[in-house]
Amino acid sequence: MPIQVGDTLPNATLSRMGENGPETVELSSLTTDRKVVLFGLPGAFTGTCSTAHVPSFLRNAEALKAKGVDDIICVSVNDPFVMSAWDKDTGAADGGLTFLADPESTFTKAVDLAFSVPAIGFHDRSKRYALLAENGVVKAVNIDEEAGVCNVSSGETMLDAL
């Protein structure tokens, strides 16, 4: 069953590009004693992810932070090199978002939000979702079930939930 309100986020080792190349980051280090929005999506540089999902959080980053959100984290089943390139392409870091890679889909599987479409090269990718966690406990979770659509998992919907 996918992660639900009241569940504790599983700790996971994710990755990002650091000054000296790829580095790991424990998700708990970003969520303990903090209020975070975490959103997942099928893949960097993909259609809806690049044209709707990430832009919805960029548009709403300041408003979310004004409501007490400490960090807005995007998790995708990609490698840290791809996530870094996508970050630069979208201006995510400059817009207040943190991009983290889940290269082996460990976190995505732990929250039961993985799916596969082998015909297009998607193996254990993330469903489109957004959640709010306070001190690692899920307070809201919105999962888009329809492929190629960003409705309930958008930055606007998350802002309305606050």
CB atoms within 10 A of CB 13: 14
Contact between 77 and 59 under an 8 Å Cβ cutoff? The reply is no
Distances (CA, A) of 9 to 40, 42, 48, 56, 80: 13, 19, 25, 23, 21
- One digit per residue, the tens of pLDDT, for the chain of length 162 reads 999 999 999 999 999 999 999 999 999 999 999 999 999 999 999 999 999 999 999 999 999 999 999 999 999 999 999 999 999 999 999 999 999 999 999 999 999 999 999 999 889 999 999 999 999 999 999 999 998 999 999 999 999 999
Query: CA-to-CA distance for 130 and 96, rounded, in angstroms?
Result: 16
Is 49 one of the annotated active-site residues of the chain?
Answer: yes
CA distance 70 to 129: 19
12, 25, 49, 77: the active-site residue = 49
H helix or E strand, kind and range, residue 46: none
